[in-house]
């Protein structure tokens, strides 16, 4: 909520996540999993002449206990409301900064401290990040800490969690400050066409952030190392070779430092592009499940999803800047004087930019989700073909269902889901299995 830049990068990084699953710590510190962790193929999903994809899907879904479904529905539906609350709380904060002259005051302080324009921008940005972080702190604590703990997704106590928040704030100040200086430099130099050049600077900056993220940003929060377990890496690297991927390494990340969720992702691009599995997945996932997830991640890689996302976000960013130019002119003509904002080249305009940006992205929620979800579906299909593990993939979908609603209505899925729903993922796996039954004929008890 605090940084559109960070949010954009996050959106880009997250959109190639396979997803997560949770593990709830039980009494005595031993993890008590909500969903069955060992791969059990229900009789309806075993190969037979009567194999039916729908019946197999229903049989998999029937393995999920009712209380687990209720819990994950509650968690996921709570997330719908948080989208609204994040938006509303952000809007109120930005309006307060404008209406009560705080933004103009922060600008005045920056001007008193230095005459050098780019430094003024950096100082303003730092003030802005700190003030908005403090004002949104209660909601941030609820969303990122209290709620995550309540649903058994968090592994951190408050101290380390707070430490991560402060690190995140620092990253936002440094990276965002650099971006803000670039952007205001552009706006001041080309006051008529700033929105076009601003779009270009934004997309270049986005590319730069995605490029450095796996190497310089992720390690600030987590330990990342090449995975060194032949039992896991040999089948994965074999799959990579079969699919023409020149990889000799897979990375592992200690995500269990923050969360119990399982995940894997493709990050970076060019020389920094890599596939990373988190330790929760490696510890809890069956071999079949890990292979099905690797197939999915290889799909992102081979289908160039990161580059396609750039193209998508380029369109979003250019449209956003065009709307921004128009709406900034309009609102500054109406309230600029009252808010003591001198124009688009004045850093005091920041809260207004964030307000307009948050309206834009709030309205765009279903469009962005649908773009991301469509790529995820493609990766699912690729992964099934590459790994040939439909039952492993069904198991993965069930694990993800621990915190993500399994069976939403179609409209719900369209608006809120950035991955296909669990039900649809299992059905796709069983449909694939129905068309490839001969692969399983020799091992009826797979």
**Which residues contact Zn ion (rule: CB under 5 A)?**
18, 376, 379
3-class DSSP state of 39: coil
In terms of CB distance, is 2 or 371 closer to Zn ion?
A: 371
Q: How far apart are CA 239 and CA 234, in angstroms?
A: 9
Residue 154 DSSP class: B
Using the minimum distance from each CB to Zn ion, give the nearer residue, 14 or 439: 14
Q: Which two tokens stand for residue 25?
A: 């710590």
297 or 402: CB nearest Zn ion:
297
Query: To the nearest whole angstrom, how small is the minimum distance from the Cβ of residue 300 to Zn ion?
Result: 6
In terms of Cβ atoms closer than 10 Å to its own Cβ (0-12, 13-18, 19+), residue 392 is buried
Q: Closest approach of Cβ 151 to Zn ion, in Å?
A: 22
Nearest distance from C-beta of residue 170 to Zn ion, angstroms:
29
Residue closer to Zn ion by CB (options 98, 398) is 398
- Nearer to Zn ion by Cβ, of 187 and 384: the residue is 384
The least CB distance from residue 11 to Zn ion, in Å, is 13
| 18 or 294: CB nearest Zn ion | 18
Residue at token pair 């031993």: 30
Q: For residues 264 and 17, what is the distance between their CA atoms, to the nearest angstrom? A: 6
Least distance in angstroms from the C-beta of 237 to Zn ion: 20
Interatomic CA distance for residues 271 and 211, integer angstroms: 8
Residue 113: which residues within 8 A CB-CB, separation 6 or more? 119, 120, 123
- Closer to Zn ion by CB, 71 or 404: give it: 404
**CA-CA distance, 148 to 150, in Å (whole number)?**
5
Q: Which is nearer to Zn ion, 151 or 301 (CB)?
A: 301
Q: How far is the CB of 304 from Zn ion (least distance, A)?
A: 13
Instruction: Report residue 85 as tokens.
Output: 């609350």
- Closest alpha carbon to 76 in 431, 417, 333: 417
Dihedral class, residue 35 (left if φ above 0, else alpha if ψ from -120 to 50, else beta): beta
Pairing of strands 274-278, 251-253: parallel
The DSSP result for 308-359, as a single string, is HHHHHHHHHHHHHHHHHHHHHHHHHHHHHHHHT---TTSGGGHHHHHHHHHH
Q: Which is nearer to Zn ion, 108 or 247 (CB)?
A: 247
Shortest distance, position 14 Cβ to Zn ion, whole Å: 9
Residue nearest to Zn ion (CB): 18
Closest alpha carbon to 388 in 247, 239, 237, 284: 239
Nearest approach, Cβ of residue 411 and Zn ion (Å) = 22
- Phi and psi, residue 226, nearest 5°: -60, 140
Q: Are 441 and 47 in contact (CB under 8 A)?
A: yes
Cβ closest to Zn ion, residue 143 vs residue 378: 378
* Smallest distance from Zn ion to CB 265, Å: 7
Please, which residue, 353 or 375, has the CB nearer to Zn ion?
375
Percentage helix, strand, coil, to 5, in the chain?
A: 70, 5, 25
Nearest-CA neighbor of 71 among 17, 138, 23? 23
- What is the bridge-based pairing of β-strands 264-267 and 251-253? unpaired
Q: C-beta of 64: minimal distance to Zn ion in Å? A: 22
Q: How far is the CB of 253 from Zn ion (least distance, A)?
A: 16
Note the helical H segments in 16-65: 53-62
Tell me how far apart the alpha carbons of residues 259 and 148 are, in angstroms, rounded to a whole number: 9
- Cβ distance to Zn ion smaller for residue 153 or 293: 293
Determine the Cα–Cα distance for residues 240 and 397; give it in Å rounded to an integer: 22
Output the smallest distance, CB 400 to Zn ion, in A.
11
């Amino acid at each position: 909520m605090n940084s559109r830049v960070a949010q954009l990068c996050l959106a880009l990084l997250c959109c190639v996540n396979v997803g997560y699953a949770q593990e709830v710590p039980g009494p005595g510190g031993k993890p008590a999993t909500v969903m069955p962790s060992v791969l059990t193929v229900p009789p309806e999903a075993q190969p037979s002449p009567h194999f039916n994809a729908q019946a197999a899907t229903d049989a998999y879904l029937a393995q999920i206990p009712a209380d687990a479904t209720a819990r994950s529905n509650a968690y996921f539906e709570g997330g719908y409301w948080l989208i609204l609350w994040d938006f509303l709380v952000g809007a109120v904060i930005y309006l307060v900064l404008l209406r009560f002259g705080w933004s103009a005051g922060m600008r005045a302080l920056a001007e008193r401290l230095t005459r050098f324009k780019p430094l003024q921008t950096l100082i303003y940005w730092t003030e802005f990040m700190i003030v908005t972080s403090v004002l949104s702190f209660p909601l941030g604590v609820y969303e990122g800490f209290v709620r995550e703990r309540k649903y058994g997704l968090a592994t951190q106590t408050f101290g380390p969690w707070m430490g991560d928040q402060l690190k995140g704030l620092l990253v936002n100040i440094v990276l965002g400050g650099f971006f803000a200086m670039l952007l205001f430099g552009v706006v001041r130099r080309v006051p008529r066409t700033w929105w076009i050049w601003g779009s270009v600077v934004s997309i270049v900056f986005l590319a730069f952030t995605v490029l450095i993220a796996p190497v310089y940003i992720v390690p600030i929060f987590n330990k990342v190392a090449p995975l060194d377990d032949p039992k896991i890496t040999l089948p994965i690297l074999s799959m990579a070779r079969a699919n023409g991927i020149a990889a000799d390494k897979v990375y592992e990340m200690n995500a269990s430092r923050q969360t119990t969720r399982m995940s894997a992702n493709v990050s970076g691009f060019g020389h920094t592009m890599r596939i990373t599995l988190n330790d929760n997945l490696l510890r809890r996932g069956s071999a079949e499940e890990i292979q099905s997830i690797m197939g999915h991640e290889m799909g992102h890689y081979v289908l160039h999803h990161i580059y396609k996302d750039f193209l998508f976000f380029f369109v979003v960013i250019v449209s956003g800047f065009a709307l921004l130019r128009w709406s900034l002119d309009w609102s500054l003509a109406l309230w600029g004087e009252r808010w003591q904002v001198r124009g688009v080249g004045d850093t005091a305009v920041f809260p207004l930019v964030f307000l307009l940006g948050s309206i834009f992205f709030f309205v765009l929620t279903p469009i962005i989700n649908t773009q991301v979800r469509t790529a995820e579906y493609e990766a699912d299909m690729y992964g099934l073909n590459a790994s040939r593990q439909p039952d492993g993939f069904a198991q993965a979908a069930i694990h993800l269902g621990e915190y993500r609603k399994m069976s939403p209505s179609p409209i719900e899925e369209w608006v809120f889901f950035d991955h296909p729903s669990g039900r649809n993922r299992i059905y796709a796996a069983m449909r694939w299995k129905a068309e490839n039954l001969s692969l399983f004929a020799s091992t009826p008890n797979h």
